[in-house]
Chain A
């Protein structure tokens, strides 16, 4: 079976006028299907940069990257967009819902980029995804009419709608209170339990307890890579 993610010696350098910063320095990483990986570390250690490269919204300066065995480096902008639309689901810290679209439209947006799906089918899929996150009664609301927790749940629904191979979450609970944070982490646990592969960036130690594997980073390198007992399903099941 192919690994979902395979990174070989990934490097990322940022060069401003006078200062060069090595954000990632020779990262090697393999993520197997069904894993829930938490990436943690102090600010500026390169975890968000790593997630951006995993999500193909940024390019490494060096190294190779494969998603589900397929080459994911040296691709054109449109090829990367195609992979994002079909294989990746994103959850952001700031939710990043489009304020002028209602919840249903926000959730079905990725499907409009895949194409070939009827409006009716898109709407049905979006409603199913929203039902999964408990927002079936909010489909016509606009993001500004939802609480932070609800917005993030809508973002989770949007990340799920294209049945992605990989879900990437960047500090998904960073803007939420503890109650809402628990709900979102619970959702991610459910998805993990359902066999989804998840990579989550967090600097919250409590959040890492939901993951099956914790990667600690420092100065652009992987300091520690540790598998741990799976707690998420227990929490959800509790």
Chain B
């Protein structure tokens, strides 16, 4: 009965103070909606990939970490031995996939698509049915069987305009005809963004082709054993293939089980997810403190009423219940509205992301209101209820009835309650200013990165990786010959403006003159052919002579020369190296600095001669520039490649301009997200600060009346009250600034100079000043309003 009465009374109060109610609802609904959309977005990106088939266990993939060799993938030739392992036999469901980049063409044009060669258990593993046609049968994997292909919904719509009679039609994949037998359901591009699936069998696969092993997680014990066994298996396999010197490295191969997202983020998905979730909780915490402070002020205003209730017999719990009822109504109604808005927001997000990224999104990037999000929403609203409703209700129920009844709301507020309100304000300012400083700095750095790249210079720039079919075929001499032939071929072809072959991902350290590893900045290291000509400040480029086993030579950039040797003469000196083929190399050229993409910083570069630092593995990178559209550029490249004597395989051709546009789009959207979320958090905070200022002023209106009656000037009163409130906000700002600057200082080493301290300090400080100005304004307005009231009115208000 008592609860019912309290709810009825709470409803009456809510209806009576509609402006306050709307303000509370705005803050609660806004923060909850942003939190839920943020959570759903990250959860979908990071974890929803495992939701293939209803109720199926989590899908996982093995990643190989191999410190002694570049070989870090399972290969097709390993399969027979792999299948015989007891630990693998215990797996209920697993399969292997060979990722591929395929060239789909017709008589007029062609395009690269990501595809997968899959085994015959693939579609059963996914537990899905085709949108059209059929999936594979055992007959499709017989060597002599006709080539068949299953295409994605994306290809069906883009290449065949969603025509129902696509089944049975022929599609040319890597110059071979394939019969289309099925269309995958919408939003499924398993394992990540496959656009077509081909049968994996002996006659379309080389023994050294990389394969991914994907399985459904049985339990953690089995998984641990499996990781251990596969690590041993892979170590044995790798040791048979590497040189003795490499074996001396005292490290072993490790096979780790990961989710698909962790696999693609090198195991960092959980870290990234946690980081984003921390941001979401931070926003919710800010708004909870805000709501708590507003409810706190409202409860304080009604403390005399609480004292009357207590005087006539209400126990403490009942007083708490009375206030909690009102908060509960706010929470429940905000929760419902927030869920509806989240649903709408996720639909809009889907539309927006599809418009921006189209078919380039992993298949599980489909955002919708799901059970997990609803459960999280319940958790979040409970958090809000605990922090914003229960905490103030319990805190304010500890009053002295006699004091309150004698002194009214003035005495009721008391020092302790006022202090709690101000401490909450300090905490709120700390959180919001820290969040804004961090997000504005990240946003500024990203903006600088994007701004420093001249997108137009990337137009027509492509890169790819070339692989020799067998390692034995690959030797240093052969690689140099091939690289030179390719560069010459591209130079002679009118379709190309420039062509360059080089080796990247070289794992070695540059040492300072003191013999320490240089870690101040990241150094871009490449091995290039002698045909590569870099703009030099002094010295020379590589010559054909350098493509021999002659003494090693190196070209370094001006900035690195200065960092290592100061103003001393550099040409002819030795660049000291660790974990490299040679312990040192003679510096023969100083390259004119290129700017880094971040904060207009000069880039550190080291170039080795291709021959002298020939790669351990059978691959080399190619970069070429054309003025043709992408598909014609690809064809021109394949034309040159086809003229070479050796058979080389290409990976996916990377379109730098297209990537730049995608990156700019992603940066822009992230900056927008920061602006929206940061702006919302700041607005929330300012509303809270304003409301607290107003509440404090209202409580002090009698005092203001007395002071003015005694002759105090408006300016003196304004300064007095701004100073009163400012102390706590300045405390909050100072704490957040200190934490932020300490973190920036620590982050400099972590980023290895990519983002200088001055950039982070500057962006953070400007944000801090803006927040300070906004806070001052939020405190000034209520004081300004209060001094417009005549002293007599203020005195009567008591």
Contacts and interface: CB of A to CB of B under 8 A. Distances in A.
B2 interface: yes
A112 B308 CA distance: 14
B401 interface: yes
Interface string A67-87: 000000000011001101110
B52 to A, nearest CB: 55
B313 A162 contact: yes
A113 B405 contact: no
A219 B304 CA distance: 28
B505 to A, nearest CB: 71
Nearest to B402: A58
Contacts of B13: 100
Majority-rule SS of B interface residues: helix
Contacts of B311: 55, 57, 84, 90, 96
A85 B314 contact: yes
B402 A98 contact: no
A101 B1 contact: no
B531 to A, nearest CB: 87
Interface in A116-140: 117-119, 122
B151 to A, nearest CB: 68
B129 interface: no
A110 B127 CA distance: 64
A109 B350 CA distance: 53
Contacts of A213: none
Interface residues of B, number: 25
Contacts of B315: 77-78, 81-82, 113
B634 interface: no
B313 A85 contact: yes
Given A57-B402, A100-B9, A100-B12, A115 B1 contact: yes
Given A85-B312, A118-B1, 18 more contacts: A57-B310, A78-B315, A78-B317, A82-B313, A84-B313, A85-B314, A88-B313, A90-B312, A96-B308, A96-B405, A97-B308, A98-B309, A100-B9, A100-B305, A110-B313, A114-B313, A115-B1, A122-B1
A89 B318 CA distance: 19
Interface in B1-34: 1-2, 5, 9, 12-13, 16
A57 B401 contact: yes
A96 B310 CA distance: 12
A11 to B, nearest CB: 16
B313 A86 contact: yes
A94 to B, nearest CB: 8
A158 interface: yes
A89 B5 CA distance: 21
Interface string B481-507: 000000000000000000000000000
Q: Give the most central of B2, B305, B308, B316: most A CB within 10 Å.
A: B308
A109 B9 contact: no
A36 interface: no
B455 to A, nearest CB: 63
Contacts of B316: 77-78, 81
B309 to A, nearest CB: 7
Interface residues of A, number: 35
Nearest to B308: A96
A52 interface: yes
18 contacts: A57-B311, A77-B316, A78-B315, A82-B313, A82-B315, A84-B311, A84-B313, A85-B313, A100-B9, A101-B9, A109-B309, A110-B312, A110-B313, A112-B5, A113-B313, A113-B318, A119-B1, A158-B312
Contacts of A65: none
A15 B309 CA distance: 27
B314 A113 contact: yes
Contacts of A57: 310-311, 401-402, 405
B333 interface: no
B38 to A, nearest CB: 38
Contacts of B313: 81-82, 84-86, 88, 110, 113-114, 162
A99 B9 CA distance: 11
A92 interface: yes
B205 interface: no
Contacts of A81: 310, 313-316
A84 B402 contact: no
Interface in B299-335: 304-305, 308-318
Nearest to B319: A81
Q: Give the most central of B304, B309, B312, B405: most A CB within 10 Å.
A: B312
A118 B1 CA distance: 8
Contacts of B317: 78
A113 B308 contact: no
B23 to A, nearest CB: 19
B403 to A, nearest CB: 9
A98 B405 contact: no
Contacts of A117: 1
Nearest to A112: B2
Contacts of A96: 304, 308, 311, 405
Contacts of A58: 400-402
A89 B9 CA distance: 23
A109 B308 CA distance: 10
Given A57-B311, A77-B316, A85-B313, A113 B2 contact: yes
Interface string A32-65: 0000000000000000100010010110000000
Given A55-B311, A85-B313, A100 B405 contact: no
Nearest to B3: A112
B302 to A, nearest CB: 9
Interface string B171-200: 000000000000000000000000000000
Closest 8 CB pairs of A and B: A85-B313, A58-B402, A113-B313, A57-B401, A81-B315, A84-B313, A52-B402, A96-B308
Contacts of B309: 98, 109, 113
Contacts of A113: 2, 309, 312-315, 318
Contacts of B308: 96-98
A151 B503 CA distance: 93
A129 to B, nearest CB: 13
Given A81-B313, A81-B315, A110-B312, A98 B2 contact: no
A90 B307 CA distance: 12
A99 B316 CA distance: 21
Contacts of B312: 84-85, 89-90, 109-110, 113, 158
Contacts of B2: 112-113, 115
B311 to A, nearest CB: 5
B669 to A, nearest CB: 48
B15 to A, nearest CB: 10
Interface string B379-419: 00000000000000000000011100110000000000000
